[in-house]
Structure 1
Amino acid sequence: MNKGLLNVDEALEQLLAGARPVAETETVPTLSATGRVLAAAQRSTMNVPPMDNSAMDGYAVRLADLKGPEPRLKVSQKIPAGSTGKPLAPGTAARIFTGAPIPAGADAIVMQEHCAQEGDEVVVKKVPARGEWIRLTGSDIRAGVEVLPAGLRLRPQDTGLAASVGIALLPVRRRVRLGLFFTGDELVMPGDPLPPGRIYNSNRFTLNGLAGIFRCE
């Protein structure tokens, strides 16, 4: 082997030794931040979920009302996700859907598979434990905790996480600027006639595609 030549590992080591991280930053919408490198750690300013809510479609109940076999309660209200209900009156149940806030006074959810609604009443077939199927405020994320570290190359799940805590803009590193050039009398662009002794310039497409994957400019 010619001792004047570098092997691949040696060449890569020299290239990396001369590389410097991009220092410039910019702010981009979270919706378009996938693939970018986060410039500063992000913390949640809110609890997730932001309120106690139902983990199931079913009925919000007061355990004190569930006495005897298959207790029967009057359905006093319906609480879909995105709305708030009224305080739960004793002796009643609230029809509730996944993600809806727990009404004041309720201390458990009976999943709908364990109930039977008859007219304006619901029959509870299986009594739940206290707190069953209630997602507590901040049980997923507490306000103030770091949710995304600096230096992270943002994936779709990362931008989704940022959005879930209300982050609309993210600070990211400027994209790497890359220049590509290709030489060789033998190179011909695909789509052009291929004369004898020539080859198509496939490297241009391979490297351009790699640059796109790594979000280079």
Structure 2
Amino acid sequence: MKIAFIGTGNVGAPLADRLQKLGHQVFIAARDPQSKSVLEATNRNSELIVKSPLEAVQEAEIVFLATPFNAIETALAPVKSLLDGKILVDCTNPVGANLSHGLQSQISGSETVQEFVPNTHVVKAFTIYGYENFEDITYAGYGDLKPAMLIAGNDQSAKETVSSLCSQLGWEPVDTGKLSMSLHLEHMTLLWIQMARVQGKGSGFVWAMLQR
């Protein structure tokens, strides 16, 4: 599959790296090919292909959005029309002051992304943990139990595609429902940050789903 990444920081870089190593063709959509984040991503994996945002998004079948939340409109505006009909994986989180929800919990960040690109199949994924868990999701001693990756979106086919990528990366994909459920996933992210960063539990924990 051809996959483009808009944003290759702490979250985007390890996901791009691992997806490429799984056999996907991965593009970095770079306004500045010499930026620190692009150079760090390509130093990590020289097989990542750097293209202009227009070229990367036009060629990709699925696009990952992994920028800071306040940069989404700037990042998406130049490629907005090229996203029509494509899957956009929203990896962003609207984090406000004192680890509050950046949109006052009135609407999810993913729904605001959907409003900006109304003809795109937005799927929320890869947001309920810190970046360390995208670097390494190995948790020994739990048998066949896999860490859960909760996703949300309005298009079932798009969610199935993203779920397949989750599975390939070693996660147990859990479909939580429509894109509006992203608000709850964003609160899960805030909970994870509070526990891991503020309370000092550390980043080495994830959620799992047990079902009878």
TM-score where L is the length of structure 2: 0.20
Q: 1 or 2, which has the higher strand percentage?
A: 1
- Larger radius of gyration, structure 1 or 2? 1
Q: 1 or 2, which has the higher helix percentage?
A: 2
